Each structure stands twice: as C-alpha cells, then as structure tokens.
Structure 1
Amino acid sequence: MVCGVTASLLAPAATATPPDRFQRVGTLSVFANSSAGEHTAAEIAAATADGRTVVYTDSPAGRIGFAALGRDGALSPAGVLDLPGEPTSVDVLGRLALVAVDTSESSTAPSGVLVVVDLDAEAVVATHDLGGQPDSIDISPDGRHAAVAVENQRDEDVADGALPQAPAGFLAVVDLAGGPRAWTVRRVGLTGLAEVAPEDPEPEYVSVNGRGQAAVTLQENNHIAIVDLRSAEVVNHFSAGTVTVEGVDVADDGRIDPTATITAAREPDAVAWLDDRTLGTADEGDYQGGSRTWTVFDAASGRVVFSSGNELQQVAIRQGQYPDGRSDNKGVEPEGLAVASFGRHRYAFVGLERANLVAVYDVDDPRRPRFVQALPTGVGPEGLLPIPATGTLVVSAEEDSAEDGVRSSLTSYRLTRTPLTVALARNEGSPSIVSDGIGFGALSGLSGIPGNRGDVVAITDSAYVPTRVLTIDTRSAPARVRAELTVTKGGRPVDYDGEGIAARRDGGYWVAAEGDGKARPNLLVEVSRTGEVVREVPLPAEVAATATSNGFEGVTTTGRGDGEQVWLAVQREWKNDRRGEATLARFTPATGEWSFAAYPLDAASTGWVGLSEVTALDDRTLLVLERDNQRGAAAVTKKVYRVDLSALATAAAGQPKPLAAKTEARDLLPALTAGGGVAHDKPEGLAVVGDGPLRRLVGVVDNDGVDDAPGESVFLRLGWIR
C-alpha cells in the first residue's frame, strides 16, 4: 500500500463533520498530588462510570494517583496510593480499579501482579499473580473478563535489543466472577503466530470488543492476535504488514522537508476497536519499523481498510508542531489510540508522542475516518481517556523534568459547539495559528507591516534553517502563515539565530541575529524585500566584547528615511552591566552611530527575567516584552511595558547608560493561560497591527521547535491598544 496526503486534511476545518469540536479546559500538573520536587509520570488513566474520578498510573513513584473531574471539566488532585511495584496500566470496574503492576527484578526473570483497589476505601483488596511482566489491561464491556498483555519485554542492551529474548510474552485472561479474591487467571500462549521472532511474542496493548474478543498487538513481532476471552483461545491472527508512505521528512537537519518516501513495518503499539468488526492501530514502531501512520483493519480478514498515510505528519506541520529532531526516528510517533462515542458521533483519538498532539478523527464510518482537529497536549502524550459520561477527553503526558520546567500532566478537553473563531478571540481555542503546508515553528519575533492592516511578519530562530521571514494573516481565525521568504546572502540561504524582525517603512527588513557570546556575534542585519542580505551591522567592538550568550532579542524602527532609528533589545545583563538591568540599543542607519540605554528588569522570583521583544507603538513609544524563564505555576512575569522615547536618553559606547523609565501596558499571563494549558515560558514576538490611533496588539510564543518543550505554537490576540 502506498499512502500520500489525504483529502480530509486539506479540507477547511469549518467543513469538517461532525460540527462539534473538543476544547481544552484545564491542565493538572501531577506533582500537585505530591510535591513539586518529586519526579512523577502520569501514563495510563481510567475513570469511574460516572466519569468524576480519574485513576492514573505513576510508574516512577510506584503508585496510582487520583484526580477529581469537576462539573466544569477541570481536574483537581485527589490523592495517591502506593503499590508493590511499578504500575503499567489501569482500568476500572464499578468501584474497583484493576492495576497491572510490574514487579520484575530483571528482564530474564519478569514478574507482575494484578492489584485490585477499592476506590471508596482507597485500599488494596486483592492481588493476583500474572506470571510475567504486564503492560496493558482492558476490561470487557460486559465486565466478565479482564485481558492483560504480559509483554516480558526485551532488554535493549542485550544483543542490541535483537529478538528473540526469552521468556515469551502471553495474554492473561482474568475471570471476574465473584469477589476480587475469587478471581482466577488463565494464560493464553501467543507463540508461533508471527513471522518475526515467533518464539518470542511481545504483546504490547490489548483492547476488548463487545463480543468478548481481545485484540492484542505484538509490537516487535509486527503482528495482531484476536483472542476469545470466554474460551481463552486465539481465534484469528495476522501480520500488521508494511506500508509505503510518501511525503515525509526523514532528515534531522533543521529543515521541515516532507518530500521523502519510506517503506516500513507498522509495528503497532496501541489498538482499539472502532466497532466489533474493525480495529485500529497506532503504528509507532519499536524494533525495526514504525510507519508514522494509524491503520484500520478488518478484524476477520486482516485486510487494511484505511491508512492515514502522511496525514499525521501534515497535521503537525500545519499546526507548527512538527518535531524535526525526530524526522530520522519515527517522526511524530503515533503511540496511543482510543475510540469512543460522544452523542451521535464516534471518534478516534490518535496520540502523537513526539509532536505533543492528539489527532481527532470522525469514525462514524469506521472504514473512512475523517480528520477533525488536533489537540495540543503536555510533553509526551501517553494515555488517552475518553469519558463520554461527561463529554470529556483526558490526556496524560508522561514527561517530567522540574529542572526544565516540563511537568507530567493530565489535561482535560470538552466537546463544545462554541465556534473556534469565538474561542480564539478569547485566546481559548486551538489551534491559534496554522499554515496550508508551510513548515513553521520557533517564531521568535514579530512585526507589523507599515500600511498593512492585517498581516504581520515573523522571523524563525536557530531551531530551523535556513532563516525565513514568514507572513502571517492575522485577520484569519486561526491566524494563517501564508507566505515564506528565505533570507539569502550572496544568493545562498543563510542561517542566523533570528530573534527579532522589523518591517521598514521604506521596504525591506531589519533582523536581530542573536550571538552566543563566543564565536557568533550579535548582528543587526539589513534585508531587502526579496530576502537578500544588504549588510550586517556589528556592535561597537568595546560593547561586543561584553556580550554573553543572552544577546539580541528584538528589533523595531521609528521614523523613516534619514530619520530612521533602529531599536534593539538585549535579553539580559552583559558583562559590566548593573545587576537587574538589560540594554536598549539604538542604531541610526544614516550615520552608522550606536547609542545605549539601561532597562530596569522586574525582579525574578524564580530563575531569571529578561527581554524578549521590542516593538514601536508609534514614533514616540516603544513596547517592551519582559518575561521570566518559567512555565506553568512558576511563571510570574510575562508583561508588556511602555517606554516613552521623549524621556529616554541614550549614551555612546563606553559611557554610563542612562536608565529608562517604564510603565506597565499588558500582563500576558491571563492570555497565556486562558486556553487551559500551562503558561508558556517564551512569549517572544509582539506586533502592532494596522494604522491610526487605535490598533491591534498580537503576540506569538516561541515553541522551541518542539524540542524538550510542549511545542504548541500559540498566537495571542491581545486586544486594542492606543
């Protein structure tokens, strides 16, 4: 099978069916159930029948956690329960949580148990030996059986992870008759089925349909087995097969270039039944494959009835969340899959682990899925939990690094009929910025365009090469990247760390290129309207010698012709600067003169505070974007200040810098958190749109190229300003 771009992706979002969409409501950092200094990781989650209690696994801490789902769809911490090992999966039966727990001491002696927890008492009431290392659990819809995929996973440090590695995995069928202590466990062998290492099946994920049939993925074996739970017998099995996918990016080179073709084994991770006859898989790959797709199979014949082709890659590119750093290794990496009915419609949710997105599909016709939307998540979405009883989807994201400001989280989304245009006006909806196929991200500077009432330009930073100027239509909802211009020097594409851009009244641009305090200097770059570098303007030598790694972060202009003044923001203190003071630099193109002023930074409660952008409100006023380097609850300073140029004095290089005065104009934290996510650390672009006394203020977040970051490209609509 050869797969390319699908038509559903290219259709306007407004025409997608069903008309409802999911909107993020809130995000709960998992450490709220313990302490900020503790390493946690929410992986798999389940909910009670009423949907009001969410139970999630926390493998690093050896426990399960509880979260309460409010009437408004927001989650709140509700405690934890320690377990005798590492929980790998959980499901809920009535008021009982069934938790698969890995108790292995080594890969050659795997072991695990099924722990049964009374949710009312929050206490363990039974434990059953599973005979191996469990991975996934699912309870049959009739509540009579639980199926546990016992993987006995390979050790990737042994023989470079090659199969086979004994002992073999199997499926454990738990008969749920009587009280929890009376339950029994049967083993279903899965050896001899797959073409790849048939003696060493490695079951990864399990899903049970309404007929009591468990679909089991044997990921490394690239195989799927169907097991009848009543008889505990394999009733069907088939290879997941290979697929040729056109239009993907396979090079980790800083370029979003989806022009390659791959042929790969699917090696599915998650599996879910779309109905009792068709099943879907998330084709992550974990051994020698990974096709970057999700697939729908006819369960009786094993025939592929749908493959997403390159659509998941295109979704991430279109929303500015494509992880180019993973291009040579499974790309967006589809890992999770869940299917559920909400009202009159049935949806499939596909988790893209490296893009930090969940792709939502309408599967009313299970053989013709239609892309609906993509939801931004925390870092590393692992568990997908639809809760139809409350009209909610909960996504657990496992990556947790307090040092980097990335915390494991549970994020809730609710089905809504609120038009996206209305939500975006309140900074609540997503996506807030898209393209029609132009790869974008790491937007580190914005500028209004003189004489243009709707467009702004943005500059890309060093996360991507070459440097590009992107034109964004702000009148569209979402904002739309509609054009790109490659910056060239001597006719060749050039790579700057572009951190600011200013569109000039006389045409062309000024670009602020940040230095590293070592070999790469801070440069003010004049760029023609065709993208060619006209000149590079360095700082005076005595100033450049004091530079640190925190350099130019924004650029703007006032005046025109011989009266043009170029203003630049230096992010933080340089050598010899007074503590707590950054720098505003002024360059006069007509004379080549530089002068400087000190800018007083807000005090940092945690980390540091610096400048991210400077933009001219008019020829008399600068707007300066000041931020700390914190995410989430630790974020305090994300503010826009006014600087009155009539009161601003500057001094020549080497002279004491006069101190600027500032007055607060906007606090960006409400806008950054309005959409139910965590506050982003890097609002880095700010632009004034339109002409006249009353204009619009817009902003953008630098998503760090989806590299160890949430990666959401956020376009902020900050209201009118005069």
Structure 2
Amino acid sequence: MRLRLPITLPLCTTLALLSGCATNNSDTQSATSSIELNFLGRYESGVFDGSAAEIVAYDAKTHETFVVNANSGKVDVLSMKNPTSPNKIKTLDVSKDVVDLMGITLGAANSVSVHNGIMAVAIEAKPKQNMGYIAFYKIDGHAFITAVKVGALPDMVTFTHDGKQVVVANEGEPNDEYTIDPEGSVSIIAIPNDITKLSQKDVTEVSFRDFNNGGSRATERPAGLRIFGPNASVAQDLEPEYITVSKDNHYAFVSLQENNGIAKIDLSKKSVDTIWALGVKDYNKTGNELDVSDKDKTIQLQNWPVLGMYMPDTIASYMISGKTYIVTANEGDSRDYKGFSEEYRVKDLAEFNSRLALTSPLKHSIEGKLEDDKNLGRMKITSTLGAKGCELVKGAPTNCTFTELYGYGARSFSIWSGETGEQVFDSGSDFERITADRLGENGFNASNDSNKIDGRSDDKGPEPEALTLGQIDGRTYAFIGLERVGGIMVYDITTPAKSQFVQYLTSRNFDAKVDTSAAGDLGPEGMSFVSKEDSPTGQALLIVGNEVSGTTSVYGISPRQ
C-alpha cells in the first residue's frame, strides 16, 4: 500500500524528532501530553463477535465492574482489585430475574449504570418493539430488587449524579419490515429512599408527540432535524440513543443519532426543553480530509466535495466556568432495513437513472470519473438528502439529480455548547491522520472483525463510538474509542475551543487472526473512567468493554514522565 498523507495539522508523524513528538511501538503522543495511558490487563470472555462485553460500569466501594453481556441478557461481575488481572466472580441472569417477576419474554441487555450501592440494567423486550424494562439490583450481594417497565428498546440507562433519578433512552427502532415503528421516548424514574418500594408509578415517560405535525410544538422542530422514516410521525422517527446528565442534575442531553440531533430534557419539569439539529461537516474544507475508498490501494487523505452528518452515538458532558459542554463521538448510523433503506453507494446511483451535478468543486485532480471505485464511487451516502427531482419506484429514489452528497458520521469527536447547541470544537481529520501515521500499511481503517486494510474507508472510517470523560489534577480529558480500527484517542478538553490531542494507544495486533486472543481488543463499545480516589491501586484507570473480542480491558493513567 502506498502512503500518501498531505499533512496540514501539527500532529505526531513518523518524523517525530522534527516535531518534538514522542512515539514508540505501542502509542502515539503529542508533545504537550500531561498524562499517558498504559495497558494493564484484560478479562477474556472467550466469546468472539457475540457482544459479550459492551457497556461497563464501575463501583468504587466494591471495586467491581459490571459488564453487559448483551445477547445473553446477563451481566458479568468482574473484580478489579488487581487491575492487571481482572477476574469474573459472578454472572447475573438479569433477563431471567425479570422474566420470573413479570412473566414476559425479554431480549438483550443493553446498558448498565451504578450509584450508591444500586445497579440499574436496561433490557429490551422480544420483540424489541414492545416495552422494555429496567432491572434494579443491590450491589452488595448482587440481589435482585425489582424491575419497572419503560419505553420500547431501552438502549441506555444512567443515574443522575445525586442518584435521585434514573434516565433511560428508549430508542424505539422499527422492525425489519418497517411495518411496526414504536415511538422513541425518554423515561425518568424517581428513586425512592427505600429502593424496595420502587413501583411503576415512579416512572414518567417523556414523549416527543407534541413535535408531531399539527402538535402544540411542531413549529419548534429545528430545520435540519432528520425526519424521514416511511409514514412515521416525529415521535416514531426520533430514536434516543445515549444520555448524559448535566453536573447540576437539571438537564439530560440525549443523542438522536439517526436524526442527527440532540434533545435537551428538563429533569425537574420532566419534559423536552428543546431539540437541536447538529448540521453537517464539510469534507471539502482544509483540516477535514478523509479517505473515501476501500478500493484505491492507498491511504489517500484529501478533501472531497461531500458532507458528513455528525450523528453521535455516545455523548458526555462537563462544566467549565459554570457553563455546560456536551462531548459527542460522531459515529454515524444509517437506516438499512428490509422494508426501507436510505443507504446507497455513489456508483450505484446510475442504476436508478440518477446523476451527479455537485455544486461543490473538487480541490484536486483525480484519475477517471468521480464515481469510480477509487474515487467517490464506493462511498456510502443517504438517498434522503441532496437530491432533486426524484421519483420513488418500488421505494427507491429514481431519476434524481444529486447536487450534494451526505455521508454517515463525521469521523471525529465534537464539543457543543449546552446552552445553545452550537459547535465549539471538532477534531477534524485527526483520527484518520493519527491512525494512518501510527498504523500505516498495517491497519489503517481496518474493521473490527477483519484485518483487511482500508476496509472501512468507504463507510465511516475509524468510527468513533465509545466515549467517557475524566478529571485528573484539575484538567479534563476525553477518552474516545474507535469502534472499527480499535484503540483509544485521548484529548485534553479543559479549554473546549482549544482542545488538544494527547495520545493514541491500541492493543490490537494486526498480525494475529481476529478471532484469537492474540489479536488483542477489538470493537471498543463502552468505557468507564475511574479516578485515583476510587481506584483500588490509587492510580486512575480507564475500563473498556470491547464488543467484538469479548474482552474487558484496563488501562492505567499516569502523569507523563
């Protein structure tokens, strides 16, 4: 593979001595790093590509980590007393406990959160279009307490910082035929002083029905919010994905991934405060370069006349000088169902008698046509934006003229104002530039279940998904997991608008078969930061659940020497 990297950002390169960067065979760091991650150990479930380690939550009192084993409907309990050798001490059969109590059929466990001796687990129904449940456990002794019903497909659960409420993102995904599309919603569960007295009356569903056409708040829907499911109301189309709670417990911010937006929920009023549309990223601007083809036989980071919808998955929040900021991992996600799909490749548009007439020009010369495989041809785009004059033939957009091309995700992380929803920082092309420099011909834009080089360039690149924040010695850091190529990006975000790259660290071994333990950690899905005060060793930790490898890995965080 030929390496072609136009460098426009002051990042670490292989010419480390010229830039002042520190590099070695295990990580890449910036010249101003104040901390560094080091791999300590991992627990291996032995289950490859079975979602055996997704979301993780750490309890400081017991030094236990609770790991969602999604498809089994169970939660593994790991002891972290020795972070270099985490070991499983118990498995909680959450699905069975709720079934025994409620007498219903349940599906996967999706999320877990802990606070002050109590654990909450989100479990979807079977089918997942039915109402799901939140199960509660006592951490001391791991005894099941009770469960309450929430919305369809509870995908994420979290306690507020004071532990008085539990907030749930109910994604409400349609079935594969797109004939059943439940409403997305947010559930707020008031936690009584005696958790054993928790009942269904303590659950409030925050709906988006008022934003439907003809609803009392329809005019408040922001321009650019994606509402595009077939025959769907706004409430059906919105799909809450992930939640972060403001430090003062006043607001919950909820990512609406497929809709490319964020909902701000007032937790005291138990209602929607506002909804923001996040807009798009212009990949034709300097600093936003990307590789768009998995067939070009090169690492080719350059500008292209395409736009990226941010579409965040995991989000987090923090407060600086009394102002709340939201941090997003801009993964991207398309709707691709048997009954409806918005996903197309640029080169396939000709099959539908559609053509390109892009208003944004190329900034560089290319060989062949724009829609060739080595250019934009392989890039996946949405059929719902950027097209004019379309006719629907058997559900497919036909006879379109595409003046703009919109891809999924932004291959970055961003920081947004918690007051206005305006973007204050985006990491631009950092993730692809840094991984290209670090991995080169060995693993650039590989997927998490294959060592094929450049395999994800046409889709969403490194695909940032996992995210958590941590404070160390008065500074705030963002830890971002790259779901596809693997590894952890670390940024100092203490000054939001001037956030700085700190380190990229990966344990992945591209020379090993992906379904073996020698491959390392694959598919970081969820993270938990542990402060040094809460750590069993006095060292700050980062705990990562890796969906594909089925491993839970632990990193130590130390001052940079």
Deviation string 1:140-164 (CA, Å, 9 cap, x unpaired) is 1111111110001134x436xxxx9
Q: Is the 8 A contact 2:188 2:206 kept in 1?
A: yes
- Choose which of 423, 428, 448 in structure 2 pairs with 1:304: 423
5 Å-filtered alignment, 1:148-227, equals: 148-155=168-175, 157-158=176-177, 166-183=181-198, 184-191=202-209, 192=211, 193=221, 195-197=225-227, 198-199=234-235, 200-212=237-249, 213-227=251-265
Aligned residue for 2:217? none
Q: Does 1:66 align with 2:96?
A: no
Q: Quick one: structure 1 residues 16 and 208, their matched pair in 2 at CA, closer, same or farther if it must change by over 3 Å? A: farther
Could you tell me how far apart the structure 1 residues matched to 2:550 and 2:184 are?
Answer: 29
Which structure has the bigger radius of gyration? 1
Could you tell me how far apart the structure 1 residues matched to 2:524 and 2:241 are?
Answer: 17
Q: Does 1:80 align with 2:91?
A: yes
Q: Quick one: structure 1 residues 165 and 301, their matched pair in 2 at CA, closer, same or farther if it must change by over 3 Å? A: farther
Give 1:230 deviation, angstroms. Answer: 1.7
Q: Quick one: structure 1 residues 264 and 40, their matched pair in 2 at CA, closer, same or farther if it must change by over 3 Å? A: closer
Give 1:5 deviation, angstroms. Answer: 4.8
Could you tell me how far apart the structure 2 residues matched to 1:40 and 1:218 are?
Answer: 22
Q: What amino acid maps onto 1:370 in structure 2?
A: Q
Aligned residue for 2:524? 381
Higher strand share: 1
Q: Quick one: structure 1 residues 300 and 78, their matched pair in 2 at CA, closer, same or farther if it must change by over 3 Å? A: same
Aligned residue for 1:29? 44
Aligned residue for 2:53? 42
Q: Quick one: structure 1 residues 147 and 250, their matched pair in 2 at CA, closer, same or farther if it must change by over 3 Å? A: same
Q: What amino acid maps onto 1:258 in structure 2?
A: L
Aligned residue for 2:314? 270
Q: Does 1:392 align with 2:538?
A: no
Q: Is the 8 A contact 1:6 1:309 kept in 2?
A: no
Q: Does 1:283 align with 2:283?
A: no
Give 3-state SS (helix, strand or coil) of 1:42's partner. coil
Give 3-state SS (helix, strand or coil) of 2:289's partner. strand
Give 3-state SS (helix, strand or coil) of 1:101's partner. strand
Give 3-state SS (helix, strand or coil) of 1:60's partner. helix
Most deviating of 328-337 and 226-235: 226-235
Give 1:9 deviation, angstroms. Answer: 5.3
Give 1:78 deviation, angstroms. Answer: 1.6
- Choose which of 82, 94, 106 in structure 1 pairs with 2:116: 94
Q: Quick one: structure 1 residues 102 and 5, their matched pair in 2 at CA, closer, same or farther if it must change by over 3 Å? A: farther
Aligned residue for 1:241? 279
Give 3-state SS (helix, strand or coil) of 1:248's partner. coil
Q: Does 1:133 align with 2:177?
A: no
Q: TM-score, normalised by structure 2?
A: 0.67
Could you tell me how far apart the structure 2 residues matched to 1:295 and 1:39 are?
Answer: 30
Give 1:359 deviation, angstroms. Answer: 0.6
Superposed structure 1 runs of 4+ greater than 4 Å apart: 8-11, 36-40
Aligned residue for 2:266? 228
Most deviating of 189-198 and 88-97: 189-198
Which has the bigger relative contact order, CA under 8 A and spacing at least 6?
Answer: 2
- Choose which of 288, 293, 316 in structure 2 pairs with 1:251: 293
Q: Is the 8 A contact 2:247 2:318 kept in 1?
A: no
Aligned residue for 2:493? 363
Q: Quick one: structure 1 residues 40 and 17, their matched pair in 2 at CA, closer, same or farther if it must change by over 3 Å? A: same
Most deviating of 15-24 and 355-364: 15-24
- Choose which of 300, 315, 322 in structure 1 pairs with 2:444: 322
Aligned residue for 2:432? 313
- Choose which of 144, 148, 157 in structure 1 pairs with 2:164: 144
Could you tell me how far apart the structure 1 residues matched to 2:317 and 2:265 are?
Answer: 13
Deviation string 1:506-533 (CA, Å, 9 cap, x unpaired) is xxxxxxxxxxxxxxxxxxxxxxxxxxxx
Q: Quick one: structure 1 residues 317 and 225, their matched pair in 2 at CA, closer, same or farther if it must change by over 3 Å? A: same
Give 1:73 deviation, angstroms. Answer: 4.6
Give 3-state SS (helix, strand or coil) of 2:432's partner. helix
Please list every run of 5 or more consecutive structure 2 residues that lacks an aligned counterpart in the other structure: 1-6, 14-18, 23-29, 96-105, 212-220, 228-233, 335-381, 383-407, 446-453, 508-520
Aligned residue for 1:55? 66
Q: Is the 8 A contact 1:5 1:311 kept in 2?
A: no
Could you tell me how far apart the structure 1 residues matched to 2:156 and 2:66 are?
Answer: 15
5 Å-filtered alignment, 1:6-21, equals: 6-7=9-10, 12-14=20-22, 16-21=31-36
Count residues with an aligned counterpart.
Answer: 399
Give 1:112 deviation, angstroms. Answer: 0.8
Could you tell me how far apart the structure 2 residues matched to 1:208 and 1:328 are?
Answer: 34
Q: Is the 8 A contact 1:243 1:263 kept in 2?
A: yes
Could you tell me how far apart the structure 1 residues matched to 2:478 and 2:273 are?
Answer: 25
- What is the root-mean-square deviation in Å for CA atoms of aligned residues? 2.3
Aligned residue for 2:403? none
Deviation string 1:92-123 (CA, Å, 9 cap, x unpaired) is 012211101112325xx322101001122222
Could you tell me how far apart the structure 1 residues matched to 2:292 and 2:117 are?
Answer: 47
Give 3-state SS (helix, strand or coil) of 1:291's partner. coil
Q: Is the 8 A contact 1:6 1:308 kept in 2?
A: no
Aligned residue for 1:560? none
Q: What amino acid maps onto 2:550 in structure 1?
A: S
Deviation string 1:559-604 (CA, Å, 9 cap, x unpaired) is xxxxxxxxxxxxxxxxxxxxxxxxxxxxxxxxxxxxxxxxxxxxxx
Most deviating of 38-47 and 217-226: 38-47
Q: Is the 8 A contact 2:11 2:434 kept in 1?
A: no
Give 1:71 deviation, angstroms. Answer: 4.4
Give 3-state SS (helix, strand or coil) of 1:319's partner. helix
Q: What amino acid maps onto 1:255 in structure 2?
A: T
- Choose which of 475, 493, 506 in structure 2 pairs with 1:345: 475
